[in-house]
Amino acid sequence: MTFRLLWTLVTQNFKTQRHIMIPFILVISTLFGIEFILLSLNMNASIHKHSDVIPVFIGIGNFFMCLFGLLFILYANRFIMRRRQKELAMNMILGMEKKHFRLMLFIEGIYQYIIIGCLSMIGGYLFGALTYMSLNRILGYTHVSLKKYPFDISAMRYTLLMLAIMILFLFIVNNIKITFQSPIKLIQQQHPTEKQWSKPLLYILLIVGIITVGDSYMIALKDTLILVSLRNIFIALILVTIGTYCLFISLSVLVIDWLQKIPSVYYRPKYFFTISGLRSRMNSNSIGLASLTMLCTFLIVTLGMSVATYRSIDQRANHLMATQYRIELSGDVHHSTTSKHKVRQLENEIKRYVDVDAFREYTSGSVAVTYKKGTFVKRDNENSPLDVNSVYLIVMNQQDYNTINHTHLRLKHNEMGILTNNVMFQKLNHIKLMNQTFKTNQLKGDHFSFPFPGAVTLVTHNVNQQRQLIYYYQTTANINSYIAFNLKTHDTQSIDHIKSKLMKQYDIQIDKKDELNKEMFDIYGGLIFVGTIVSLVLIIGTFTMMYYKNIAEGYEDRKNYRIMRQVGLEEERIKSVINDQVIIIFTLPIIVSMIHVLFASKMIYTLLGILDVNNIKLFLTTYIFVLVIVMIIYALMYVITSRVYYRLIHR
């Protein structure tokens, strides 16, 4: 067989299968365009100059992008090869050898490599510039120029190399499939027999599904510590995934069976063809629809967390430090003469160089404890590693709290002030500390929990109670003193010049609000970036799965359409029946995913407490907004893919 003939077959196949091949090429081009963007950002000198953290997050985002991207590409390739089985069988019957078909696949691979390589490089660079500017905006670098984002040759080489490896991998996978196929097997696979699940097995799957989904919802709705929530989210994720697949396989078929046993419903002309047709659809599509449901669930959760984090980034920056500068030194300024003398010396030294509004002195100590149902229990071994039931207590006294927050808090001796992001602690009216019961006074203000996300800040009645509480839970604990202050002028260079000298001379730590904000923006910006990348890849995966599902339905319904026409059904009735079935099939995943997210919202809100997202109104509005956006995107995907579907059944 000549190369010219093979090339003719390749081009003809591309033309006849363009409704399958063009989306496949566009999806891979988009994924490798994202890969080029991530690699070019990771190699960008400007990014490395501004932050050491962001390249790490870009690497994490790249890992998830490659993982999900590979799964979606394999899914699309599997669908395409299934659609080409008839073509392969006919060519083999007409005399084409398998080596010729392999050569066709090789030529197609080169053809696809060239097209995808060009599209991914052009699109990757153009959208990479937009991504670069957006990332810098999130990080607070508003004066960065596009000149600092040149076209990266190294990123292009790595991307094209990865693309070549992926094309070669698909070629090998497809060749292995061809090797073990015969024309008869290929034709038989074109018309697979409908898999029927036995009734006992369906009921077993139904029970398993109800139990696993119910357990996952119960876990998600529990009030727990943040570390427990981190553990539970993986358990709940596994359970809800198992339950979703079990319920889609069993409940979808059983509900249709139950409807068929109700004559007043089943034998009505409006529902008869719709219900009878849904049975075969659900048998063949239940697993795919469950996968689509989980994709939509992950998309809503990931996108919602990213948007909520972005919206709260300024709030977190303001809560991080109340003043421009904060000095930390070991020792209790309220009890130690040495610490008092050191503080006075330090304050006088600072006054020599800068004009300060006022020095605000306060103390606090942090201890790790075990939490058990309203009781903070002393740990058996103070030096042992923390477990999921451990929580950090940041302990300060009432006088210092009022000094920092400019408040007039007055606690009683049996009363304890509490600041926390955790809803579980916010609900407590009483807590047990040191074997004593205290009434809680829920406070608002700075949580002083940095760098212990999820910690609980306790405010005691006086200094003695503060010391008593700290040393009760940890005999080796240190109480540190802090000096917070603002400058009367905008010039910070004077103190910045002597900062390292003071830190070395007095053995102290000096934190600057702008520097902490930068670190916080880097961490938050990195998390937002990873969430955005994962969300984008999930959108691509959802579109890919929905598109090829619609095409599969189109090929199947083309036969059903002809049968219904032959038995004398009107054109309008046929369209109505098919349309109703398809809408039911594709609205189920988004509805179920919204139910999953609704039950998971409490756990998500608890986990976002790590990032100081503690505004319930912001959280709710964010997720309502994200749900609406995802529904719009999902509807647009359905409209786009359904056009191809309707063209197929009328072909």
The least confident of 83-97, 365-379, 513-527, 625-639 is 83-97
Helix H or strand E encompassing 341: helix 337-353
Question: Looking at this protein, which amino acid is placed at residue 421?
Answer: N
pLDDT over 80 (residue 565)? no
CB 542 within 8 A of CB 637: yes
SS3 258: helix
pLDDT over 70 (residue 104)? yes
CB 371 within 8 A of CB 389: yes
- Nearby residues of 566 by Cβ (< 8 Å), 6 or more positions away: none
CB 235 within 8 A of CB 219: yes
| CA-to-CA dists, residue 380 to 209, 384, 411, angstroms | 41, 8, 31
Residues 58-90: b if buried by 16+ CB within 10 A, e if exposed:
bebbbebbbebbeebbebbbebbbbbbbebbbe
Phi/psi for 322 (5° steps) reads -80, -20
Return the HEC string of 560-608: HHHHHHHCCCCHHHHHHHHHHHHHHHHHHHHHHHHHHHHHHHHHHHHHH
Higher pLDDT, 53 or 602: 602
pLDDT in tens, 427-470: 889 999 988 999 999 887 665 555 566 788 899 999 999 999 99
pLDDT tier for residue 17 given thresholds of 50, 70 and 90: confident
Least Cα distance to 548 among 636, 651, 645, 646 occurs for 645
Sequence-distant contacts of 515-520: CB under 8 A, at least 24 apart: 516/320, 516/321, 516/450, 517/140, 517/317, 517/320, 518/140, 519/53, 520/313, 520/316, 520/317, 520/320
pLDDT tier for residue 311 given thresholds of 50, 70 and 90: confident
Supply the pLDDT for residue 194: 53
pLDDT in tens, 473-529: 887 778 899 999 988 887 777 788 888 888 888 888 988 888 888 888 888 888 888
CB 401 within 8 A of CB 377: no
Question: Looking at this protein, which amino acid is placed at residue 2?
Answer: T
The least confident of 161-165, 262-266, 462-466, 518-522 is 262-266
Higher pLDDT, 111 or 552: 111
Supply the pLDDT for residue 643: 79
Burial of 310 (0-12, 13-18, 19+ CB in 10 A): middle
Structure tokens, 162: 């990865």
pLDDT over 80 (residue 535)? yes
If you average pLDDT over residues 396-413, what whole number do you get? 88
Torsion-angle region of 334 (φ positive above 0: left; ψ -120 to 50: alpha; else: beta): alpha
* pTM: predicted TM-score of the whole model, two decimal places: 0.82
Supply the pLDDT for residue 160: 94
- Nearby residues of 555 by Cβ (< 8 Å), 6 or more positions away: 83, 648
Mean of the per-residue pLDDT values for the chain? 83
CB 429 within 8 A of CB 467: no
What is the rounded distance in angstroms from the CA atom of residue 501 to the CA atom of residue 503?
A: 6
